[in-house]
Amino acid sequence: MKYNLSDSLENPSSLKSGDPMQLPPVLKGGWPIIGHLPEFMHDKGALFYKGYQELGNVFTVNIPKPIVVVTGSEYHQWFYNETDKSLNIAKGYEILKYTIGEVFLTASKEQYKKQRIFLPIIFGRERNLGYLNAMNYEVDVWLDRLGESGEMDIMDEMRLVTRSIAGHAFAGANFRDELGSEFWEAYSDIAKSVSIILPPDWPLPRYKRRDRARAKIRSILGRLCQQRRQAPEAYDDVISLLLNTPLDDGTYLDDQKAADLWLGLIFAGNDTTARQAAWCVLLTLQHPNILARLQTEVEVLNDSIDAMSFRSLPLTFQVIDETVRLKPSADMLLRVTEQEVQVGDYQIPAGWRVVIAAGSSHYLESKFSNPPLFDPDRFSKERSEGKDQYAIMGFGGGGRKCPGMNFAKSEMAIILAKLLRNYDLTLLTPNPKTISVLGGAPRPSPTRISYQRKRSPVHPMQLN
């Protein structure tokens, strides 16, 4: 039975399918057995855009199991509204449970209801002010280490500085001594282990390293939890917050669960922000007119960037928004159908994966003028091409929207503003590419940048 999509948003029961089942059309060109897997691993954004061009808003690709791709604001709204109803987010990210446990993104609807009590506290206004201090301090430490001039791989440097910011913000100013190098070495092993293609329970070397690394991380974080239990008055960080905030039923997290939730926060925001920040720098350097305007904008800043300073950085945040559109770290969002559902003219069986993808949705000409063009001004007040809340999916939406979105944007703004204020940069690697390992989150290919300091360095003072 055919139905109007907008009706289903108000009445989810209308999603029940009729008989016979009409499945979404399958994109042509797949290989026997492995389907569209090679294209998916090479450039899933291009694959999804081709599917949209040839088949419209709802279609299927096989990698090799079927994935239904839905594109367009109405479909995105349905996707978000049906999350934790007919669409299961935890099953969509089940591979991550082997990495970080059942926390936040990977948590069931019931577990997430218990855990979300922490999110408005962790990302509330009072703590955000402290996070800005940590961001300023760690970026200054990083710039001080760079020195007067040299070359750097932008992805490596963004990974280092965002890890320092996350460690400082969520574990306190002494995170270097408390976490140690062992933590970040183990963290790298679990981050590298994630693959949407390979089953997460296969006895592969990458998964053996992951399991050893997770045990090491739990040991390190367990020690930090014990220190905070023994001297609670000495700490005011996210670890102590997780330990000392009661759940709705009056109980408290044990050390292991607190450690898993803390790791989940780091995992959800660290590498994604590093990749996004790297592309902010690269896209800016590839567009000299935008670079010149940004340099003028950040020149008037003080050494410390606070929330009030953000008001004088409209172009900086437009560059961030445009980077999220063109080069999103979270380039697709996954769900699994709990029951048979109908979308448009098609039925989707229970147990199928459904995604929304930047490769198709961020290039809709109905939403964005000249979509392939890097044009930060599209997000200006005068044009406001991003005013449709469902058009951009880089941070998700609905009840499971990324709670750290403002944290991530603030972090990227401070990194970009301070870097351009203090250094002249030159892109040495022409035409950096987007790469993805085993269909995972995309990142820039190895890209070298030269830098030359143009003002006296700010030597950071240790924060209390």
Q: Given this model, what pLDDT does residue 458 score?
A: 66
pLDDT digits (tens, 9 = 90+) for 144-158: 999 999 999 999 999
Distance, in Å, from the CA atom of 259 to the CA atom of 239, rounded to the nearest integer, reads: 8
- Please state the rounded mean pLDDT for residues 166-178: 95
What is the H or E stretch that residue 301 is in? none
Sequential DSSP letters for 265-300 = HHHHHHHHHHHHHHHHHHHHHT-HHHHHHHHHHHHT
Question: Which amino acid belongs to residue 440?
Answer: G
Q: Given this model, what pLDDT does residue 21 score?
A: 79
What angle, 0 to 180 degrees and rounded to 10, lies between the N-to-C axes of helices 405-422 and 154-171?
130
pLDDT digits (tens, 9 = 90+) for 203-212: 999 999 999 9
Kindly tell me if the per-residue pLDDT of 3 is higher than 60: no
pLDDT digits (tens, 9 = 90+) for 248-284: 999 999 999 999 999 999 988 788 999 999 999 999 9
Handedness of CA 129, 134, 137, 142 (dihedral sign): negative
Q: Given this model, what pLDDT does residue 442 score?
A: 87
Residue 134 corresponds to which tokens in the numbers above? 């940590």
The response to whether 402 counts as a known ligand-binding position is: yes
CB 282 within 8 A of CB 391: no
CB 356 within 8 A of CB 329: no
Q: Is 8 or 69 the better-scoring residue by pLDDT?
A: 69
CATH class of the 5-453 domain in this structure: mainly alpha
Q: Given this model, what pLDDT does residue 460 score?
A: 67
Kindly tell me if the per-residue pLDDT of 5 is higher than 60: no
pLDDT digits (tens, 9 = 90+) for 107-119: 999 999 999 999 9
Residue-averaged pLDDT of the chain: 91
Residue 443's closest CA among 197, 278, 266, 332?
Answer: 278
Question: Any idea where the domains of the chain sit in the sequence?
Answer: 5-453
Residue 403's closest CA among 253, 225, 244, 264?
Answer: 264
Distance, in Å, from the CA atom of 323 to the CA atom of 333, rounded to the nearest integer, reads: 17
- β pairing state of 353-357 and 332-337: antiparallel
Distance, in Å, from the CA atom of 404 to the CA atom of 214, rounded to the nearest integer, reads: 23
pLDDT tier at 372, thresholds 50, 70, 90:
very high
Residue 112's closest CA among 95, 131, 126, 91?
Answer: 91
Residue 233 corresponds to which tokens in the numbers above? 């008055």
What proportions of the chain, in percent to the nearest 5, are helix, strand and coil?
55, 10, 35
Sequential DSSP letters for 93-150 = TGGGHHHH-S-GGGS-HHHHHHHGGGHHHHTSHHHHHHHHHHHHHHHHHHHHHH-SEE
Q: Given this model, what pLDDT does residue 232 score?
A: 92
- Name residue, tokens 């950071």: 460
Q: Given this model, what pLDDT does residue 296 score?
A: 97
**Which distant-in-sequence residues (6+ apart) come within 8 Å of 263 by Cβ?**
100, 101, 103, 217, 221
Q: Given this model, what pLDDT does residue 286 score?
A: 98
Q: Tell me the C-alpha to C-alpha distance, in Å, between residue 16 and each of 84, 86, 344, 350, 351.
A: 16, 10, 12, 11, 15
Q: Is 440 or 351 the better-scoring residue by pLDDT?
A: 351
What angle, 0 to 180 degrees and rounded to 10, lies between the N-to-C axes of helices 255-285 and 288-299?
120
Q: Given this model, what pLDDT does residue 228 score?
A: 96
Among 26-40, 90-104, 432-446, the least confident range: 432-446
- Please state the rounded mean pLDDT for residues 171-199: 93
pLDDT digits (tens, 9 = 90+) for 303-341: 899 999 999 999 999 999 999 999 999 999 999 999 999
CA 414 to chain centre: 18
pLDDT tier at 439, thresholds 50, 70, 90:
low
pLDDT digits (tens, 9 = 90+) for 62-100: 999 999 999 999 999 999 999 999 999 999 999 899 999
Distance, in Å, from the CA atom of 58 to the CA atom of 70, rounded to the nearest integer, reads: 5
pLDDT digits (tens, 9 = 90+) for 39-68: 999 899 999 999 999 999 999 999 999 999
Residue 372's closest CA among 46, 36, 41, 43?
Answer: 46
CB 447 within 8 A of CB 429: yes
Question: Which amino acid belongs to residue 126?
Answer: E
What is the H or E stretch that residue 68 is in? strand 66-70
